[in-house]
Amino acid sequence: MMGENAAPKIVVGLGSCGIAAGAREVLAAFERELKRQGVRAKLGRTGCLGLCYREVLADVITKSQGRISYGNVTPVMVPRIVEQHIINDKPVEEWIVLGDGYTTPDTDFLTRQYRIVLRNCGRIDPEAIEEYVARDGYKALQKVLAEISPEDVISIIKESGLRGRGGAGFPTGLKWEFTRKAKGDKKYIICNADEGDPGAFMDRSVLEGDPHSVLEGVLIAGYAVGAQEGFIYVRAEYPLAVKRLKVALEQAKSHGFLGNNILGTPFNFNIKIKEGAGAFVCGEETALIASIEGRRGMPRLRPPFPATSGLWGKPTCINNVETFANIAWIISNGAGKYSAIGTEKSKGTKVFALTGRIKRSGLVEVPMGITLREIIFDIGGGIKDDGKFKAVQLGGPSGGCLSADLLDIPIDYETITQTGAIMGSGGMVVADERTCMVDLAKFFLSFTQNESCGECVPCRLGTKRMLEILIRLTQGKGEEEDLYLLRNLARDVKVASLCGLGQTAPNPVLTTLEYFKEEYEAHVRERRCYAGVCTDLTVFVIKDNLCKGCGICVKHCPVEAIVGKRKEIYHIDESKCIKCGLCMEHCPFDAIYRA
């Protein structure tokens, strides 16, 4: 609550998405304007609130109006916000995204969510431990050190039903129990923040917006399993996340939450940051362990599992960022409250990075059991430009593409797995009718094929041969037997590969073959790409009855492929056409179509 004489506060979203949209310039504009007008107000920063489509976000907090969030803020808007809202106490209503007493098109984006992992993101300064503590931060750690035995902590996590949020959903409490019971003179905790899926940014946003929640979860896990040292393995491509983690570690040490004799107890725990070099395969836990040890990040056969023989051969517990960010909430609020959310076998919430052809892209945290339709249409606002939904890719490049027929399935581990997709870390890429599913499968397979460590033959060569087939299909060179060969290859790679990368790499291919078979057949039998994405299968045609001979298409054709005379009907010379689509884009009479 603001005090009686508290100055207004302006908080700018300085997560990666906000910075990319110009948040630093907006913050500087507020600083200049406040100084110019001699206004007494505090300036602050926060992380990503999740409304990435509305960045730059700027909050104005006053005693009379509470917290008002403005969206798509530019430096040009700053003087009016300061003059009207800060000085005259009248919010600029047409720019409001969120605020008490205001209902906007963006309200549904947050009100339909259940925020546990994201509870502090966009609400606190991630570089001010005082703001985390003011929202009950580190109280869960204090509670377990003062009142709860390690065994009872594990029992609480098991009772909550929390499953690992980084992949297959293994029960978190069970993994902790295995590590605690494993024999070893030293044990480790590893936080896997090696988020490498295209279109995924959940871990990055949490580390940028609320790093202390992750540290607190790691500390509680260390206490529970009997470890005294932990590592956070984070992508070096996340410089802001790394910076804020380092700040958080120093602050936690200075406040007695990290180091020796934490909070005056015998518990000692230290955390180190290990920056990964951008290898997707290091998201697999045994490859990640090898990387921390200074070896090449390559997976190994299991068993033994890391819980019994992990980092330097010692018992090691590995969970991802989202899993650890749940821990303090569960300890503070009770296992029963957490297990009451979700479904019978999938408890709690799940964070998704909602991207692609969606109106409201960003981070969403929803209860398990919600349907795809609710996320995409109720929270995400539907398809961009009011297009038609075609597919959603779940689980990143190792996930699967689901069709409109599956929009009403509940999101939980078992149901998603039955469709051929996976929950994964939480990437959710939405596609509309302008997406070619063969081309999309090619994109994801090219990623996993490139990221294969090459250790096992099925993954190293199998994904390469699959990619070659997909390239042939998109070039109009595919044959009927290619579809049969592609499916069989995908199944073999899935079964025979050594690690999770190879085992899941065929998922985009298998699911698109299952749910979008007609597109594959069109590429082979008709030499056509219905979406018009595969240029080798695309032909542009000018309709004689609609062409007015205006010549606008001629002016925009970069290769002079459109022939004819002004005020007469034009035609396209296919031998010159490069399939760029500029003629169709600029025709004012819709006389050009993609055949």
Q: Where are the domains of the chain?
A: 9-106, 129-339, 349-432, 437-526, 539-594
CA distance 50 to 59: 14
Return the exposure string of 38-62: e unless at least 16 CB atoms fall within 10 Å of the residue's CB, then b: ebebeebbbbbbbbbbbbbbbbbbb
> Who's near 321: CB < 8 A, 6+ residues apart?
191, 192, 193, 195, 202, 203, 206, 207, 214
CATH fold, domain 9-106, is Glutaredoxin (3.40.30)
Instruction: State both tokens at 38.
Output: 């001699």
Instruction: State which H helix or E strand residue 566 sits in.
Output: none
pTM: 0.92
CA distance 243 to 476: 48
Mutual angle of helices 202-209 and 211-225, in 10-degree steps:
100
**3-state DSSP assignment of residue 230:** strand
CATH fold, domain 129-339, is Rossmann fold (3.40.50)
Distance of CA 369 to the CA centre of its chain: 19
DSSP 8-state code for residue 83: I
Task: Kindly report the backbone phi and psi dihedral angles of residue 400, in degrees, each rounded to the nearest multiple of 5, phi listed first.
Answer: -140, 160
Instruction: State both tokens at 505.
Output: 């790499």
Instruction: State both tokens at 246.
Output: 């380092």
For 539-594, the fitting CATH number among 1.10.3720.10, 3.10.110.10, 3.90.1170.50, 3.30.70.20 is 3.30.70.20
Instruction: State which H helix or E strand residue 427 sits in.
Output: strand 427-432
Please give the CATH architecture assigned to the domain spanning 437-526. Answer: Up-down Bundle (1.20)
Instruction: State both tokens at 105.
Output: 């098109």
Q: What is the largest CA-CA distance in the chain?
A: 89
- Cβ atoms 582, 557 nearer than 8 A: yes
**572-579 contacts: CB < 8 A, separation 24 or more?**
572/540, 572/541, 572/542, 574/539, 577/540, 578/535, 579/535, 579/538, 579/540
Tally of helices (H runs) and strands (E runs) in the chain: 25, 18
DSSP string, 479-535: -HHHHHHHHHHHHHHHHH-SSHHHHHTTHHHHHHHHH-HHHHHIIIII---TTS--G
- Cβ atoms 346, 414 nearer than 8 A: yes
Per-run averaged pLDDT (10 residues), the chain, 595 residues:
70 96 97 95 95 96 94 98 95 94 89 95 97 97 97 98 89 97 96 88 95 98 98 94 97 97 97 91 92 92 93 97 98 97 96 95 96 96 94 89 96 93 88 94 93 90 96 94 96 92 93 96 92 86 91 93 91 88 91 84
For 349-432, the fitting CATH number among 1.10.357.10, 3.10.20.600, 3.30.300.160, 3.90.1720.10 is 3.10.20.600
Task: State the pLDDT at residue 532.
Answer: 83
